[in-house]
Amino acid sequence: MGRGSTMWAGWRGRAVVAAALVAGLGRSAAAQFSSMQVSGSPATMRIVGSTAGAAPAPVVESSTTYTFANRNGTKKITAQLNTSMPAGVTLAATFEAPTGATTLPNVPLDATARDVVTGIGFAVSTTNGITYTLSATPAAGVVPQQSRTVTLTLVTAP
């Protein structure tokens, strides 16, 4: 591909959150509540051109955050796409972890749920950043603009 040619016309994401509500016997539901919200959709990401023979520079987008509360046990967050990315194109995500939890950096997302944060303990209300990185190889060629939905799930962890 020559300089200035468009390799990836764009990616637009929507964030969807699935939150687990856990109620235990003998305790109030409020004491057992876990929830998660995303601040909104990330901006359109677009990879444009590259130098002949070189891979194009990745695009990084970090305008969104997620807020969660955990009042019951240890949790983890998984992320997955509604459909995989085209061949030669990768969307990876890094979710900042709250104190005491572990971030798994630059997790390549696809249609399978992938751990992005583990070891989340008790938290009343914590807001953390999300960074998406879109990258492509020269083999991807020109890809028309597409969108993907990222589904986050807060689940009980062992």
Helix (H) or strand (E) holding 39: none
Q: pTM for this structure?
A: 0.79
The residue ranges of every structural domain in the chain are 6-156
- Indicate the SS3 state at residue 84: coil
pLDDT in tens, 62-111: 999 999 888 888 999 999 999 999 999 999 999 999 999 999 999 999 99
pLDDT at 125: 86
Tell me the C-alpha distance between 156 and 13, whole Å: 26
Share above pLDDT 70 across residues of the chain, in percent, rounded to a whole number: 80
